[in-house]
Amino acid sequence: MAILKIARMGHPVLARKADPVADPTAPELLLLVQSMIETMVDANGAGLAAPQVHVPLRLAIFQAPEERLDPGLSQAERYDHTAPLTVLINPELEVLGPDIEGGWEGCLSVPGMRGLVERPAHIRYRGVNLQGEKIERTARGFHARVVQHELDHLDGILYPQRMGDLSKLIFESEARHWMAPEAQEELEEAQT
């Protein structure tokens, strides 16, 4: 395993549609996933798509652990506990309703920035894992957001391209000015 170099916005690998994975059970794919997990954890990310580590394959990993808490997020945007560490290969996404939710997103490929992105609130996703077994789940809240964000990478889309209002693309260092009051209080408590 190794910590991999993360491609940044502007690199061509992030702008192209990723190729399907021919054999989800291939040993080299397991090695890639292990390194992606190590890279994601090292970068304090919630997800990572293969194109972000310069591998143009339809593969993403993500998690939404309950214990991970970002004081810069409002209560509604916090991680839910419905998404364990997941390896999703050759995924498909289905929107399950008309409701849209806005939330602040960051990205390991767009470091130091956050943007307010509106996304479908309720989705279903399908794919296979490293054993070739089918995965199918429905998701709401942060779980739905992180899945959509990572699957966008597989189609060459970065979150700023999903933003309706680029005036809400900000530096993380300025996020406190956009936070809900309860999130601001928690951030201040965490800093003391």
Angle made by CA atoms 3, 6, 9, in degrees to the nearest 5: 175
Q: What is the CATH number of the domain that holds 64?
A: 3.90.45.10
Residue 2 lies in a domain: no
* Share of residues in the chain with pLDDT > 70 (%): 83
| Spatial separation of the C-alpha atoms in residues 77 and 142, rounded to whole Å | 6
Residue 147 lies in a domain: yes
What's the rounded mean pLDDT across residues 8-16? 98
What element of type H or E holds 185? helix 181-191
Q: Please determine, for residue 177, whether its predicted confidence score (pLDDT) is greater than 90.
A: no
What's the rounded mean pLDDT across residues 130-140? 95
Q: Give phi and psi for 95, each to the nearest 5.
A: -85, 130
Candidates 101, 150, 182, 189; catalytic one: 150
Residue 79 lies in a domain: yes
Residue 1 lies in a domain: no
Residue 67 lies in a domain: yes
Q: Please determine, for residue 186, whether its predicted confidence score (pLDDT) is greater than 90.
A: no
Residue 3 lies in a domain: no
Is 150 one of the annotated active-site residues of the chain?
A: yes
Q: Are 39 and 88 in contact (CB under 8 A)?
A: no
- Residue 144 is predicted with a pLDDT of 93
Q: Are 137 and 127 in contact (CB under 8 A)?
A: no
- 121 C-beta neighbours (distance < 10 Å), count: 19
Residue 151 lies in a domain: yes
- 137 C-beta neighbours (distance < 10 Å), count: 16
Please give the tally of structural domains in the chain.
Answer: 1
Residue 181 lies in a domain: yes
- Structural domain including 144 reads 12-191
Q: Are 75 and 184 in contact (CB under 8 A)?
A: no
- Residue 66 is predicted with a pLDDT of 55
Q: Each residue of 73-128: pLDDT tens digit?
A: 444 444 444 578 999 999 999 999 999 999 999 999 999 999 999 999 999 999 99
